[in-house]
Amino acid sequence: MIGRWSSNQKYPTSWTGHAGRIGQDGRFYALASRQSGSEKSYRSALMLLVDGEPTQILYDNLSLPIGEAHLLLDANNRPIVFFRSALRYQIERLSGRSQTAPIFDGADYDWSVARDATGWVYVSAYDYDQRALVVFAAREGVWKWQRIEADGRESGWQHSIAAYGDEVFILTYYLRNTFNRGLNVVVLRGGELVDKHTHFRAGGANGGWSPLLGIGRTGRVLLSHRQNEQEGTASIERFGTIADFLARRVEDTGDWDDEYKSWSVSVAGTPRYRNWHVVASYPSEKDAPLRFDAKYEYDPAIELGGSAEVRLGDWNLGLIYLQNIASQRLEDAAGKAAATGFRMFAGWVGIDQLIFGHDLKLSSSFGDYRGTYRDDNGVRVSKTPVTELEVRLLNQWRIGYGLAYRDYGLTLPYYVYVAPEQEAQYFLFGAGVAEAKVKRYELFAGYSRVDYLTRYENDFNGIDVDIRAGLGLSLVSWPKVVMGSKEIDGTGELAASAALKLGYVVYHRFHSLQGAGFVVRAGYEASWMGSGFDNDAPSEREEDEDDEDDELEDESTVTLAAHHQYFHGPYVSLGLVY
């Protein structure tokens, strides 16, 4: 951040730095965006600063926020500006004041720019459609871009660029399979690809992430990268000349792992012991003289099942089946037998790199839980069919996020509160128990270590962790109930969830078996899903005489059916991968 900000100003002007470069005249040139004005007259401009002083407006009234920008200087220290907006994946060149010329639409993760001594300009990017490093080259002033396929599949999402003389060098991470990933070097001259070779090949632990390449004025080369991603160790290399740097080459072995692996198969057995608790809180006696002390019994569940996944090219398909093999026989109030049981069938289809460089995974599951609901009025069978749908995007770091939908039935108490006109306090109007239908919509984010391991690693013994959190809306409905002059048939609640799986994982692939291996996981998992907070009376309404929409003018009715679900228990997974 550069510039100044004053809290004494009602609408302060702020500056955000984007890129900087030292010119041939020894001065420091920088790009910064300036934001000023009120919400109604907001203005944003891209500025050029020289030695910290604003000298030129390059782009006025930016319509989209700048995500990243790069700055080059020509032989006369005139700026050549490139940027990618925060809301699009399009790289553009600033072609005039407040004018841009698009170069490439489809750039995700790393992108870089460089200019050689002869006036050739290069823009390197990760093409998320091709899943590869691409370069666009043009003569300065002509700006007729030509595309260069710089490296193969699964390359370029992390890379670094540097220029020396009439050549430009790119150090890029590549992945052919888990026994062949590391760093490639791409050499460009005169707008063409003149050389590509492997500089570092990581056959053991995943290495080559966070590459950084620098070349000094005398041709000395300095590069760094993370040699072991799991341990976070960095490697720094120094070369006295460009020739020494290019002489470091790793040749192919002539074995199976020289080629990109486009398919895989995995199977796993998944026994686990699972407890499921449902809590429907009841309000205080002060708030609700009529209340239900609801108790649910669904556990224990010894689940035995399996999963299988096949990946072919960009597609992967999977199936899971789980069955409860231990159940208790209970009787409801009518004397009918009911089993606390569980069975679940799930499937998914995935498409790699479909959306902005992310893998897409669509999954669904169908379960049938049966247990008992008990309150002061007796016991009844509680049938809980569950349907889950999930759309998950998985980035290259294997962090996932997306939208989840969960539909289930539940015997559920509900409470209706009313605040009469011109009164701030809510009073209990009525309460009941219904066979409710719940629909949950959540945005979520999470990370699974096994997702990372199976993509990038060959061998790992250590902590197994899955973590996930979600937030959204829960819609609860039930058959219409008439209470006086009111018809009550449902409510909406805040939905939230959290899940943690913590244990130990042993994972190993064998080179002699062309990447076949095993994964063993064991530990404890726990998750929580909440709909609403509690069923206490809502807080008092506030009167606002200056507001045309005074809360107290009209009667207000609030229906609450808050409940929470807790899942926990040990898990074991025994799997084979190939």
**Is the pLDDT assigned to residue 536 strictly greater than 80?**
yes
Using only C-alpha atoms, the chain has a radius of gyration, in whole angstroms, of 30
- On whether residue 375 sits in a domain, the answer given is yes
- On whether residue 112 sits in a domain, the answer given is no
**CA proximity to 200, closest of 219, 186, 180:** 180
Cα–Cα distances in Å, from 405 out to 439, 464, 474, 495?
A: 7, 26, 10, 11
- Final residue before a domain boundary, out of 52, 77, 105: 105
Residue 540's pLDDT is 85
Question: Where does 253-398 show beta strands of DSSP type E?
Answer: 263-269, 272-279, 295-297, 301-312, 315-324, 329-331, 337-339, 341-355, 358-375, 378-394
Whether residues 332 and 481 share a domain: the answer is yes
Whether residues 29 and 90 share a domain: the answer is yes
Residue 380's pLDDT is 85
Reading the block at residue 249, the tokens are 């080459």
Q: List the Cα angle 166/171/172 in 5-degree steps.
A: 135
Residue 385's pLDDT is 78
Whole-angstrom distance between the N-terminal and C-terminal Cα of the chain?
Answer: 48
- Final residue before a domain boundary, out of 75, 105, 135: 105
In degrees and rounded to multiples of 5, residue 51 shows phi and psi of 50, 40
In degrees and rounded to multiples of 5, residue 538 shows phi and psi of -60, 155
Whether residues 233 and 94 share a domain: the answer is no
Whether residues 412 and 523 share a domain: the answer is yes
Instruction: State how far the Cα of 554 lies from the Cα of 552, in Å rounded to an integer.
Output: 6
Residue 554's pLDDT is 76
- On whether residue 424 sits in a domain, the answer given is yes
**Is the pLDDT assigned to residue 351 strictly greater than 90?**
no
pLDDT band at 9 (very low <50, low <70, confident <90, very high): low
- On whether residue 144 sits in a domain, the answer given is no
Instruction: State how far the Cα of 435 lies from the Cα of 377, in Å rounded to an integer.
Output: 15
pLDDT band at 338 (very low <50, low <70, confident <90, very high): very low
Q: Among 421-425, 533-537, 569-573, where is mean pLDDT lowest?
A: 421-425
Instruction: Encode 243-277: b = buried (16+ Cβ within 10 Å), e = exposed.
Output: eebbeeeeeeeeeebeeebeebebebebbbbbebe
Instruction: Check if the beta carbon of residue 564 is closer than 8 Å to that of residue 528.
Output: yes
Whether residues 322 and 375 share a domain: the answer is yes
Instruction: State how far the Cα of 417 lies from the Cα of 430, in Å rounded to an integer.
Output: 7
The pLDDT of 59-73, averaged and rounded, is 80
Residue 371's pLDDT is 82
Instruction: State how far the Cα of 368 lies from the Cα of 106, in Å rounded to an integer.
Output: 43
- On whether residue 10 sits in a domain, the answer given is yes
The pLDDT of 525-540, averaged and rounded, is 91
**Is the pLDDT assigned to residue 187 strictly greater than 80?**
yes
Q: Among 7-21, 55-69, 173-187, 343-357, where is mean pLDDT lowest?
A: 343-357
Predicted TM-score of the model (pTM): 0.81
Instruction: State how far the Cα of 164 lies from the Cα of 471, in Å rounded to an integer.
Output: 50
Whether residues 240 and 376 share a domain: the answer is no
Residue 339's pLDDT is 38
In degrees and rounded to multiples of 5, residue 282 shows phi and psi of -115, 145
Residue 401's pLDDT is 92
**Is the pLDDT assigned to residue 281 strictly greater than 90?**
no
Q: In the block, which residue shows the tokens 């590549």?
A: 174
The pLDDT of 443-465, averaged and rounded, is 93
**Is the pLDDT assigned to residue 411 strictly greater than 70?**
yes
- On whether residue 125 sits in a domain, the answer given is no
Whether residues 34 and 164 share a domain: the answer is no
**Is the pLDDT assigned to residue 524 strictly greater than 80?**
yes
Q: Residue 403: which CATH number? A: 2.40.128
pLDDT band at 116 (very low <50, low <70, confident <90, very high): very high
pLDDT tens string 461-470? 999 999 999 9
Q: Quick one: what percent of the chain has pLDDT higher than 70?
A: 84
Residue 394's pLDDT is 81
**Is the pLDDT assigned to residue 163 strictly greater than 80?**
yes
Residue 305's pLDDT is 62
Residue 28's pLDDT is 96
The pLDDT of 537-560, averaged and rounded, is 74
Expressed as residue numbers, the domain containing 63 is 1-105
Residue 550's pLDDT is 56
**Mean pLDDT for all residues in the chain:** 85
**Is the pLDDT assigned to residue 5 strictly greater than 60?**
no
Q: Among 31-45, 253-267, 371-385, where is mean pLDDT lowest?
A: 31-45
**Is the pLDDT assigned to residue 34 strictly greater than 50?**
yes
Residue 331's pLDDT is 39
- On whether residue 447 sits in a domain, the answer given is yes
Residue 512's pLDDT is 93
The pLDDT of 541-547, averaged and rounded, is 64
Residue 241's pLDDT is 97
Q: Among 77-86, 247-256, 313-322, 554-563, where is mean pLDDT lowest?
A: 313-322
Residue 319's pLDDT is 64
- On whether residue 145 sits in a domain, the answer given is no
Whether residues 257 and 328 share a domain: the answer is no
pLDDT band at 422 (very low <50, low <70, confident <90, very high): confident
Higher pLDDT, 495 or 375: 495
Whether residues 201 and 277 share a domain: the answer is no
Residue 357's pLDDT is 64
- Final residue before a domain boundary, out of 105, 134, 158: 105
pLDDT tens string 191-248? 999 999 999 999 888 999 999 999 999 999 999 999 988 888 889 999 999 999 999 9
Whether residues 403 and 476 share a domain: the answer is yes
Q: Would you give the DSSP letter of residue 551? A: G
Whether residues 267 and 248 share a domain: the answer is no
Instruction: Check if the beta carbon of residue 571 is closer than 8 Å to that of residue 522.
Output: yes
**CA proximity to 525, closest of 448, 444, 438, 441:** 448
Residue 137's pLDDT is 98
Q: Quick one: what percent of the chain has pLDDT higher than 90?
A: 50
pLDDT band at 391 (very low <50, low <70, confident <90, very high): confident
The pLDDT of 277-292, averaged and rounded, is 83
pLDDT band at 97 (very low <50, low <70, confident <90, very high): confident
* Tally of domains in the chain: 3
Whether residues 15 and 64 share a domain: the answer is yes
Which of 49-53, 338-342, 375-379, 484-488 has the highest mean predicted lDDT (pLDDT)? 49-53
Residue 539's pLDDT is 87
